Amino acid sequence: MILVDGVERFTTDGGGIRPLDIDPSEVESVSVLKDAAATAVFGVKGANGVIMITTKRGKIGKPTLSFESIFSASTISKIPPVLGSYEGNYLKNLAIEHELPVDENSWGDFVPQEILGFYRDQTYPELYPDVDWTDEFTNDYAFSQKYNMNVSGGTEFVKYFVSLGYQHEGDILATQDFGQGYDPDFKYDRYNFRSNLDFDLTKTTRFSVNLAGYYGQQQRPAGDKWNFWKGLYGRPPDLYPVRYSDGTFADYEGFDRFENSVSRLNFGGLENENRSEINTDFFLNQDLSFITEGLSVGVKVSYDNRFNTLGPDINDDGVLEKYINPDILYAQTAEDSAQNIILKYPGGFVNQSHGYNFVDVPNSRQAERAQNNIYRALYYEARVNYVRDFGKHGVTLLGLFNRRESVTGSNFTNFREDWVGRFTYNFDKRYFLEVNGAYNGSEKFGGVTQVEEGFATESYRFGFFPSFAGGWTLSN
């Protein structure tokens, strides 16, 4: 559970988990609650712990302007190395020689010394290649940039904090425009804004308004963007070159488990996902010390709106590929040479039997479009606080009610309701006692689970979660 300024902010999006898109420059403090007593007031929602984020606020004084710029570079710490073509085939030969007494069939996989020399000397690099697929797939560094500008200050009546931020995240994967008209690189750009205002309407009344949000655009290849790991770890260095000298990418249908992942990654198209979110919070706190010292009440209303769009995208059906069989070295005629060059066509172009020449289909573009996952959440809360010391005795009381109504797209609305109470006592800041109780409800559970003689006798829509804690501060 994550709270930002006391309001729960969800990190689920479309059934998955996404990062909380908040600029660290806006954050004043972060607290993590893990023990049962601390999280009991959050009921079942706090079972896995609670992260409480408090954003910065303005202070009385002249306007203060700050600007921050961060440029960073990251690199891969370690990738397990693989043997080259010569070393791998040389060791394979040794293994075959040692197993011949028990398996004569393995002699057919023995690599002749002449071909080993081709691998070692790279005499024919397009026929007997030595490809470092890790180097082909990755850049030496991935670069990131972050910029942030904050303005804060205030008077006796109003205090303000305003923040604007931009962040760019590059990627370590090596993608480029090989002539397809786009670079399908992984990247993420995000723009953040925040405005926190505190109005002291009277000496005992404070009204606060938070307005925050972001716009993020994630770009990624539309092609084989998940299986590139197979290319990184599972491609033999002697399979085929990445590209031939004429610019054609290499691939062979006979190697069904060893597709050219470089061409799949770069010629599969491009897709964008855009995320926008606006959060509004309104807080009203009234000090009632004129009734009794330490008493206060507060109300809170929050409304969140998040929506996603897809696009603009680029659709690409692939690229023409070929494979040159090493037997072409021994071809006697032009016809023999042609038989050792195997073409692999993209899209719906199956073969040459129809008599037409291959023409690559132009890429198509898809406009930006909305997703049916607009998320809206309304949260409202009322609480009563009492904090007072009587000599060496300290007492606090909390009574709180909140309700959350959230909906995604055209689905049914989800409801969460909490009734919370807390009592704490300490003697001389030495001995401590704490009692908590949370009564949590959700519409996801049945309202009536058992009926006897026409009366409901049991319901699991609400659950009660109590806790008790005691402490002793040895230093006191």
* pLDDT tens digits, one per residue of 276-294: 999 999 999 999 999 999 9
Cα atoms in the Cβ-side hemisphere of radius 13 Å centred on 287: 12
pLDDT of residue 448: 56
pLDDT value of residue 457: 52
Q: Which residues of the chain have pLDDT under 50?
A: 14-17, 355
- Count of alpha carbons within 13 angstroms of residue 454, beta-carbon side: 0
Task: Give residues with Cβ within 8 angstroms of 455, minimum separation 6.
Answer: none
- Report d(CA 310, CA 21) in Å as an integer: 18
Which H helix or E strand runs over 230?
helix 228-233
Residue 311 near residue 368, CB atoms below 8 Å = yes
User: How much is the pLDDT for 454?
Assistant: 56
**pLDDT for position 449:** 55
Looking at residue 410, its pLDDT comes to 81
DSSP-H helix ranges across 59-130: 85-99, 113-121
Q: How far apart are CA 69 and CA 249, in angstroms?
A: 41
pTM for this one? 0.83
AA letter at 267: F
Q: Which of 261, 235, 240 is nearest to 250 (CA)?
A: 240
Residue 367, phi then psi, degrees to nearest 5: -70, 165
Residues linked to residue 439 through DSSP beta bridges, in sequence order? 419, 464
